[in-house]
Structure formats: structure tokens, C-alpha cells
Structure 1
Amino acid sequence: MWLLLLPVLLLTLLFLVINKIKAKNENKPQLPPSPPKLPIIGNLHQLGSLPHQSLWKLSKSYGHVMGLHFGTVPAIVVSSAEAAKEVLKTNDLACCNRPSLTGSGKLSYNNLDITFSPYGEHWRQIRRLCVLKLFSSKSVQSFQFIRDGEIDSLNDFLNESSVLATPVNLSVMMSTLMASMTFRTAFGKRFAECGLESDVFEEMIHRAMSVLGTFAACDLFPHLGWIIDRLTGVHAKFERSFRELDNFFQIVIAEHLNRTPEEGKEDLVDLLLSIERGEYDSTEVHFTRDCTKAIIMDIFVAGVDTAALTVTWAMAELARNPRVMKKVQDEIRSCLKKSKVTESDIHQLQYLKMVVKETLRLHPAAPLLLPRECISQFKVGGYEVYPKTFIHVNVWAIGRDPNYWYNPEEFFPERFADSSIDFKGQHFEYLPFGAGRRGCPGMIMALTMVELTLANLLCCFDWKLSAGMKETDIDMEEASGITTFKKSALKLVPVSYQWPSKLQT
């Protein structure tokens, strides 16, 4: 009898052990798969010079929801539309915070601006004010005369270059153009009127963007990193950049306080100062001078380079694809039959809009959306995400995912024909401006500047490669920071388009 009972007892014991192990595993949190990490630095060594590409390659092995450690800070990287939807829509409120950057000295306005400040009621009210007063369609349209003037200056310069048949550096020209448009929109003056050269101002903005794109030790090692930053001089670099911007903003604001703007000619600083004085109908917002400076900084840091690099990438792709170049030029010239494109014409240019969409799919200005910080625990892709975890959405990888895009590496604007996909953050396979509470508030202004500039470049000029170059010789390698630049300058030869003699001017 004992011999008969022994197998039953052993099986019962084995069953109990298996159930105990199973229960233990069920209670164990399901964390996303992660590549091996090193002590202290975590996975930093795997980022490479182009983090969005490095993370894309890692995601092929470890999945579209991937766990990493940047120093001692836990992070999640999502690289699929489904996971992005879970983060940016389903669990938007649980992860709409921004990692604090004040410890590194990156942003002394950290709690006051709309891009980098932590989530809260004050941030919500500031953002609402900015969207309604600064970045609405009505506000953007009020500065149309500035964009028209800058486009006229651009066309004059290109016409002179056309006579000489010399290549122009479009990378530099677009950066200068967008800086000038933004500068006049914000301050109501040209560079020279403020005692500045355009390249001096652009360098100041580039230094600020470089600072924001730098990993500081205190971001990665919150408890001891500040010591490293001070010993290595990183903290001093951050502070110098901030003081440089702050001093400049202070001078401009003081000048605005001592003048009366012309009716209908108010610039963004005038609008911000009116909000600061309480002229905007709201008692809910405590809007200070630092709020004004913080939003001005947002406008420049987020707006100048992103618009410039988008036009540059678009022209580079068109130069490599003569079929698309001819098609979009034919649309503009046959539709409008005039020598300059105005903002009221853009709605007619559907293929141009497709070209811009396709450019932003392949070359999103921010390939990794600015990091979010988890506020409360939630799941993404079935994996647990805990508070204080940084969350990165790799929109560059999603825009090249063959699960959503046919021949994703091909520049093919027609893929957007008869498509409902747009920029507004409701199509998670396409997120050039982000989505949710942290979506880009300046989208209308950015698109207006990009579409108007590109339309005029293509309407008024044909574009040739430098002597001896072929389309395949155009280098499309990226250089990365917060934004993704074309590594080598784009140089093309403008040829003034000869309109028919009866052209309507």
C-alpha cells in the first residue's frame, strides 16, 4: 500500500511546489525586456552618436517596449504606434510630467514655461494662455506681413545668385531665414535694429539647444551628479548659456516697456507683457516676468532650428527625386500662375502638403520626443511602468516601420493622397509634433513658415546640382542633438524661373 501511495504523495508535493513557483512568478512585476547594462552607467554606452537610430536597432532585438537605464535613472523606450498610443493617449495623464532639469542648471525658468515644466495646474493655465493668445490661427495670421517681407528678401538674394550661377548653402540660408522670421515676430525688429548680427543670435540659440541636448551627470545620477557637473564645468556651461539668453531678453523687454506699439503691429513680447499686466481676461493665472522670458525662450529654442531643418530636408529629398520635384513645381506654377506664393494660396497646393508630410515622416525635427516622466503606475504593452521612470517615444523609428508604411525608406509623398493621416496627434503611426497634453503648441506657426518658404523656393526657382554631382551623391547622413540636422550642408544652384510674358504679378 505504501508503495502505491508514494507516487501519489510525490506528485502532490510536486504539484504544490509548481503552484508556489507559479504564484511567485505571477506576483512578480512584468518589466519590459532590456539589453544588458553596465554597472553605474547602465545602457548609456549603447546610445551612440545618433540615439534614435541606436534605440531603433536595439528595439529589433528587445521589442517595441524596451527597458533601459540611463545611469541610475530607469527609462522606457517605445517604438511602435500601438505602444505610443498607450503612452500618449490611454495613459497620457499618468506620464505627462517632464523630468526636472533645474538640478543641472539647464533651465532656471523650469517651472514656468510650457515645454519643460512639470505638469500641474499652473502649467495647464500657462499652456492654455499660450495656445489661445500666441499660437492660435488668428495670432499666426497677424504676423503674415513679417513672413512676406522675409520671403521677398530671400527671393532677391536667390535671384542675384541665379545670375552668377553659383551654389547657395540652403542649410545656412534656411537657418538665417527662420531665425529672422522668429526674431521679428517676437521682438518686432530686425537683428540690425537690435545691434545684432544674425549669425551671433543664431549661435546663441544653438548654444542653448546644445545645452538642452546634453546629458548632465545630475540628470543621470540624481543624488551625486551635481558634484560631477560642477567639477567638470558642465554646470557652469549651462549657467553661462542661461545668463546669456536672460540678459538679452531683459534688454528687449525693457525696450518694449518704454514704447507704445503701433495699432495692429504688436509683437509677441507686447502680447506677453499685456498678459503679465492682467489685460487678458483671466484671474486664474499668476503670470510673472519670468513667465514672459520662459515662453520667449521656448519660442526660439523650439522654433528656429526645427523649421529650418525641415525645409532643408525637404529640398534635399526633392533634389534626390527629380520626379517629385517636377510634380510639385508643376502644381504650384499651374495652380497659381503668379511669381510669388502667399499664405492664402497654400490651401490649393495639396501635393506640396504631401511633400511636407513625407519630409516630416522621414525626418521628424525631434526624432525622440522630449522625455516624459511617469507620475503614477500604469502598463504599456503589458509591462509595468513605475513612477519616476523616463519615457521616450521614438517617432523616427515609428515613421519608418514597415508595419505601417509601404517601402518606408522611399520618399513617396503620394502615400498621403486620399489619406486622413494628419499632424494633430490622433494617428500614432505619424507623430512629428507629438500628441496628448505635451503635443507641440506651435504646430500652426511651424507649418505656416515651412509651407510658405518651401512653396516660394519651388515656385520662383528651378534647382540644379553643383557641376559634376549626381542625385545619388547627395549625402543624407544625420547629425543629432535634440533635433536632427543634415550633417553636411545642402548646396544647390538656383535658376530663376522664366514666367510667360503675360504672367499675373
Structure 2
Amino acid sequence: MALFLLLLTFIFILLPYYLYQKLRFKLPPGPRPLPVVGNLYDIKPVRFRCFADWSRAYGPIISVWFGSTLNVVVSNAELAKEVLKENDQQLSDRHRSRSAAKFSREGQDLIWADYGPHYVKVRKVCTLELFSPKRLEALKPIREDEVTAMVESIYKDCTLPEGSGQSLLMKKYLGTVAFNNITRLAFGKRFVNSEGVMDEQGKEFKEITANGLKLGASLAMAEHIPWLRWLFPLDEAAFAKHGARRDRLTRAIMEEHRLAREKSGGAKQHFVDALLTLKDKYDLSEDTIIGLLWDMITAGMDTTAISVEWAMAELIKNPRVQQKVQEELDQVIGYERVMIETDFSNLPYLQCVAKESLRLHPPTPLMLPHRSNASVKIGGYDIPKGSNVHVNVWAVARDPTVWRNPLEFRPERFLEEDVDMKGHDFRLLPFGAGRRVCPGAQLGINLVTSMLGHLLHHFNWAPPHGLSPDEIDMGESPGLVTYMRTALRAVPTPRLPSHLYERVAVDM
């Protein structure tokens, strides 16, 4: 009875609030919200598809209520430009859930920081120091080493007597590359050895990552309905324990690097070394250094593997494109050496394949929401201060008014027209744009291109026996990032001399 009265009280409080917002502001159209819950029960699990469907019904800018919070979703390039460029300063804050606030120490990192002096400082550190062309070039051997390790692992598995002709689970190999690459770039550590065995620090790292995801997911509904927070309070002890565990591991690695620098008299190029070296120059707190390192892990681990898995699915579904990439690789690289990153400039079609896959399957299709720090107008509608604004980059990149045959996987479109995908052309935004554009975009592009090039140069790829290319499941799983609903399995056939599948380990 008490719960019913509480619910009734909130209905009488929030219903006038919705009406007040409607009368005071000219809000974008959208599905009718219910009291208390808003549109939460109408949203389908794969949100970017649901929002795209609603945009077709209500227009390219819509209002969606998450409980009592207004969320505005834009779905075309013109409106994306208004959000990410013309009103960027007013729409550059972050909505932090309770879990994001805890994980980021109230925005002491980069990803969850509001726009202001702190954000500008750490953004400068990332742009000028961590992801500079000089540092990316210095860390190139790590990327190439991990990609060749993936090739060697696939070759061993597909040439075993029991493995010949069998399909392989792609995300197993792609995930290992992404995991080892990002931990080596950030921490200078390869937690998984060449036999696939993870050391104790690696196991701890994996457990911390999995526990963070579990803690964040446990608060989903309560984040949007304030009165539910009374019934489901934040487990302060669990978050404190998680934070202490994460910090303990990170500080141990930082101490290892500090001692190594003292011993050698210099610093390597890994992100942890760079941040420790730059600590005084930029006045970085330990919380900020730890936050930035884990930002790199969070942003770089899954998205790369996801992007390559989608690209490989498209290439298996489109054997014409696969053959055309291989013809380019054979012409430029040949059969007596392996591809390296300096070959990219001579492989335009391979680059177009990566770009076309990121167009159709952006790893974060709604990006992270931008929060308004002032009232603005977008598309002629009012966006009140405190609203969340989402750019549906998945819908933008499939807009039939700007893309010819938008659902077709056709890399040639980027040979016909050079379209930037690092935030300058608002038709293609896999890395965002404006003040919040991903600072590691070039690193991501390099790794995706390298992985695809090696996979296609070393192997022919086909669907599992008994499955036609058209039967590959191209549906997405719900979530912030777009995992394939059914993990891709594929059959590799080696196409180069056997000695080109051997990894030469790089220690750095």
C-alpha cells in the first residue's frame, strides 16, 4: 500500500512537470511518454535501431524520456553538425550515471569529465603527448607484433589435422589482439603469453574489468527513475572495493615502470611512462593518471575487435570485395613478405574496406551522450539545460538522402568520393566530432586496417560448411557497443608460404 501511494505521489508530481516542459519549451516531437517511466518501456533493446525507427515516424530530431530526463536524438548529418560543431561548447558536458561517477572519481578522467579547464588539460595531454604521430610511430612495432601473433595462432589452429576445414570463432583471435595491444600500449605488459596462458596480473586485470561491467549494469533502471534509487541504493562498499582493487593493480604497474626508468635512466613510449613523465608538467593527479589509463583500456579494447569482426562478416558475405582486396594486396605486397603499416598508403581499396565497415557498423552507434550546460536550439527546437543529446551515427551513416544504396557494402563509394571519418565530415562519424572527438581515432584506424590486411593477405575466408554467406547473422546485441548478435565463425585457408606465418616477437 505504501509503495502504491508513493508511486501515485510521483505521478502527480511528474505529470505537471512533463506538461510544464511542453508548454515552456518547443521540444522535438517523439513518442508519448508515460508518467514516471517516460518512454523506458517503449524502447527496444537495440536502442539505435529503435531510435532510427522513431525518427522515421517523427522526424530527424526526437524527444525520448528516460524517466524524468529528456534525451534528444538526432539522426541526420545536418543536425549532427549543429550538435557537434555549431553548438559544441554548450553540448560538451557529460551525463554521469552513479557508476560512471564512481569509476571516474566524479569526472577526473577524460571520457566522463565535463567540459572545462580539467577536460581541456587532459585532452591536451592525450592529443599532444599520448596520441601524437611521433608516439604512434614509436609504438608501431607493438601493433605489428600483435597482429602477426594473431596470424600465427590462426595458422596453427587451421593447419592441425583436426582443424583443417573447421570454422574458427573469430572473436577469440580478434579479442586477443585487442587485449594484448591495448595493455602493451597502456601498461607496457603482455598479460597473455604466446601459448595463450595469462599471468596473475592479467587474471586480476580481467576480473577487475568484468566486475566493473557487472557493477555498472546493476544500476540500469534506477539511474533513470529517481524514486527507485531509494529502493535500490548504490552499494558504496562494492564500488569502494572495486576502486581499491583497480588502483592497487595500476599503482603496482606504475611502480614497476618508475623503478625501470630509474634503472635505465630513460622512459619508454608506453602510455604509463608518458603520463608519469608528464605528471609535473601538466599537474596531473594520481587519480587522473589512473583514470586516463583505464580510459584507454575501456575505449580501445572491445571497439577494435568489434570493428574487425563486422568487417570480416561483410567480406565473407561479399566475396567479390574480398577478392578485390586480395588482388590489391598481392600486387603491392606479393607473396614473399608480410604487410606493414607503411604499406597503407599504397593500399587504397583496403582503406576503403575499413571505412565502409565503420560506416555500416560504427562500434558505438549512439556515441556517449552530450549533456547541455545551457539551453540551445537544434533544428528549430528547444534543448533545455540539463538535457542529454545523442547523435545516432548509425542512422546518419545509412541516411538514403546522402548515401546512394546506403545498405549495400560497397567500398568503392570512398574511391569515388574522399569522405573524412575523423570528425570533419558529418555524414560519417565513427569516432565522433568536435570537442569530444576520440583522440585515439588514428590509432584505431591503423589497427583495424592492419588486422584486416593481414587476415586477407594470409588467408581466404569462407562461411562454415553448410552455411551460405547470406545466412550469416548480421543482427546486433543490445548495449553501448555493437557486438554481433551471433559471434562470427569462419573457415580460413592459408594462401602464402608457410614461413610467413611465423611471429618474430618484439620486446618493448
- Does the C-alpha gap of structure 1 residues 95 and 204 become closer, same or farther in structure 2, counting only changes over 3 Å? same
Matched, 1:266 2:269: yes
Could you tell me which residue of structure 2 aligns to residue 162 of structure 1?
Answer: 158
Partner Cα distance (1:217, 1:288) in 2: 33
Do 1:176 and 1:199's aligned partners in 2 also have CA atoms closer than 8 Å?
no
Q: Secondary structure in 2 aligned to 1:493? A: strand
**Aligned positions, number:** 469
Equivalent positions of 1:236-315 (< 5 A) are 239=240, 241-260=242-261, 263=266, 265-276=268-279, 278=280, 280=281, 285-315=282-312
Q: What's 1:20 paired with?
A: none
- Aligned letter for 2:85? K
Q: 2:176 corresponds to which residue?
A: 176
480, 491, 494: which one pairs with 2:478? 480
Residue matched to 2:86: 90
SS in 1 for 2:288: helix
> Residues 306 and 82 from structure 1, CA distance in 2 versus in 1: closer, same or farther, beyond 3 angstroms?
same
Amino acid at match of 2:200: L
Please give the secondary structure, in 1, of the residue aligned with 2:337: coil
Task: Name the structure 1 match of 2:314.
Answer: 317
Using the alignment, how far apart are the partners of 1:501 and 1:306 within structure 2?
31
Of 144, 150, 162, the residue aligned with 2:146 is 150
The residue that corresponds to 1:350 in the other structure is: 348
Deviation for aligned residue 1:228: 3.5
Compute the displacement of 1:154 (Å).
1.5
C-alpha distance in 2, partners of 1:67/1:93? 21
Query: What do the CA deviations read for 1:162-210 (whole angstroms, capped 9, x no partner)?
Result: 3131322111211111110111111212105883376764464354356
Alpha-carbon offset, residue 34 of structure 1: 2.1
Give yes or no for contact 1:94–1:376 (8 Å, CA) kept in 2.
yes
What is the aligned counterpart of 1:43 among 39, 42, 60? Answer: 39
Equivalent of 2:424 in 400, 423, 426: 426
Using the size of structure 2 for normalisation, the TM-score is 0.86
Note closer, same or farther for the CA distance 1:264–1:289 as it changes in structure 2 (3 Å cut): closer
Higher mean C-alpha deviation, range 397-406 or range 146-155: 146-155
- Note the alpha carbon deviations across 1:299-346, whole angstroms, 9 max, x for none: 000101000100110001001100000001111111121431111111
Q: 1:359 to 1:176 in 2, by over 3 A?
A: same
Question: Aligned AA for 1:257?
Answer: R
Query: Comparing 404-413 with 313-322, which one deviates more in the overlay?
Result: 404-413
Q: Does 1:326 align with 2:323?
A: yes
Task: Label 1:450 to 1:203 Cα distance change in 2 as closer, same or farther (>3 A).
Answer: farther
* Structure 1 residues 243 and 78: alpha-carbon distance in aligned structure 2, compared to 1, 3 A threshold: farther
Alignment of 1:461 with 2:437, yes or no, is no
Matched, 1:81 2:81: no
Give the Cα–Cα distance (whole angstroms) in 1 for the partners of residues 214 and 361 of structure 2. Answer: 19
CA separation of 1:206 and 1:359: change in aligned 2, threshold 3 A: farther
Partner SS state of residue 486, structure 1: coil
Counterpart-to-counterpart distance in 1, 2:405 and 2:218: 34
SS at match of 1:479: coil
How far apart, in 2, do the equivalents of 1:113 and 1:229 lie? 27
Q: 2:224 aligns with which of 220, 224, 227?
A: 220
Residues 331-372 of structure 1, C-alpha deviation per residue, up to 9 Å, x if partnerless?
A: 111112143111111111100111111111110010101001
Question: Does the residue aligned with 1:117 lie in a helix, a strand or coil?
Answer: coil
C-alpha separation in 1, matches of 2:453 and 2:216: 32
In structure 2, the residue matched to 1:187 is 187
Identical positions, percent: 34
- Indicate if the aligned counterparts of 2:267 and 2:273 stay in contact, CA closer than 8 A: no
* Superposed CA RMSD: 2.6
Post-superposition CA distance 1:127-175 (Å, at most 9, x none): 0111100011111111112122212221221221231313221112111
Tell me the alpha carbon deviations over residues 383-432 of structure 1, each in whole angstroms, 9 at most, x when there is no partner. 01110001011111111111111111111111111313111212111111
Match of 1:416 in 2: 414
Q: Check whether the contact 2:25–2:384 (CA below 8 A) recurs between aligned residues.
A: no
Separation (CA, whole Å) in 2 of partners of 1:459 and 1:466: 20
Do 1:100 and 1:118's aligned partners in 2 also have CA atoms closer than 8 Å?
no
- For residues 464 and 453 of structure 1, the distance between their equivalents in structure 2, rounded to whole angstroms, comes to 17
Amino acid at match of 1:187: F
1:452 aligns with 2:450: yes
Corresponding position of 2:358: 360
**Equivalent-residue separation in structure 2 for 1:191 and 1:404 (angstroms):** 45
2:67 pairs with one of 68, 71, 74: 71
> Which secondary structure state, in structure 2, belongs to the residue aligned with residue 492 of structure 1?
strand
Q: Secondary structure at the match of 1:463?
A: strand
Within-5 A mapping of 1:105-144: 105-144=101-140
**How far 1:254 sits from its partner (Å)?**
2.4
Aligned 8 A contact 1:399 1:429 in 2: yes
- In structure 1, list runs of 5 or more residues that go unmatched: 1-26
AA aligned to 1:178 is A
2:368 to 367, 370, 389: 370
1:104–1:229 CA contact under 8 A, matched in 2: no
Report SS of the residue matched to 1:189.
coil
Contact preservation (8 Å) 2:461, 2:490 = yes
